[in-house]
Amino acid sequence: AQSVAQPEDQVNVAEGNPLTVKCTYSVSGNPYLFWYVQYPNRGLQFLLKYITGDNLVKGSYGFEAEFNKSQTSFHLKKPSALVSDSALYFCAVRDKVGGSSNTGKLIFGQGTTLQVKP
């Protein structure tokens, strides 16, 4: 079965420092991977996705993610964290095709809280 794991419940980083939020996946076939962010009392916002091609994917708000097939990882990164980046981050993988083939069902990780301190 497809699955995704976020091994850290919380990540703390000082403003201006680089940040990494970890994600590992388990899929059969090609992985289609996504990152979302959730600010307090808001819905999820799409940040970026990996479908194929370059292993470094650039997304919104200066975030990027590195796809590593050998380590089955898709870590989210940012070179210089901002206090406003503090939020809940979710990694997701597209579910294996079943039923209708184009539904784009996603399986989400449990989320990682990012705390950026001034």
Q: Is 108 in the site for other proteins (CB under 8 A)?
A: yes
Residue with tokens 């996603």: 106
CB-based contact 35:63 (threshold 8 Å): yes
Q: Is 7 in the site for other proteins (CB under 8 A)?
A: no
CA dihedral for 26, 10, 76, 37, sign (positive or negative): positive
Nearest-angstrom CA–CA distance, 71 and 66: 11
**Binding pattern for the stretch 27-66 against other proteins, x by CB under 8 A and - elsewhere:** -----x-x-x----xxxxxx--x-x---------------
- Which residues contact other proteins by CB under 8 A? 9, 32, 34, 36, 41-46, 49, 51, 90, 94, 97, 99-106, 108-111
